[in-house]
Amino acid sequence: MKDSKNIIIQAKQDHEWEINAFVDGVDLKQETYNISTSEILEINVFATNIGNMIDDLSLETSIEIELHPDDLSSGWSAIGDSVK
C-alpha cells in the first residue's frame, strides 16, 4: 500500500531588523549627550536583518545643537551625514 499527500507551505514575509546603537561601547539608552568644545561624539550603529526577506536599509541622521541655558555663545555648528 502506498499513499502520498501534497502539502502547500507558505511563509509570511518578515521585514524585521534588530538595530543597536552604542556610545563608547555603552548601549545607547538616552537621546541627549553633553560634549565639550572640539569633542567628537561617535555613535556606532549595528543593524541585523532578522527577518526572512532580503531588504535594504537606509540610516538617516539628524544633528541638533541645544545650548545650556547659561551659555550665551554663538557660532556653534554640527556636521554629519546619512549612510545608505
Res 55: pLDDT: 86
Q: What is the pLDDT along the chain (84 residues), one digit of tens a residue?
A: 888 888 888 878 888 999 998 988 888 876 777 777 778 888 888 999 998 888 888 888 777 788 888 888 887 777 766 554
Coil, helix or strand at residue 52: coil
Rounded to the nearest 10°, the torsion over CA 24, 27, 30, 33 is 0
What global pTM score does this model have?
0.60
Q: Cα 58 from chain centroid?
A: 9
Distance CA 22, CA 43 (A): 6
Res 7: pLDDT: 87
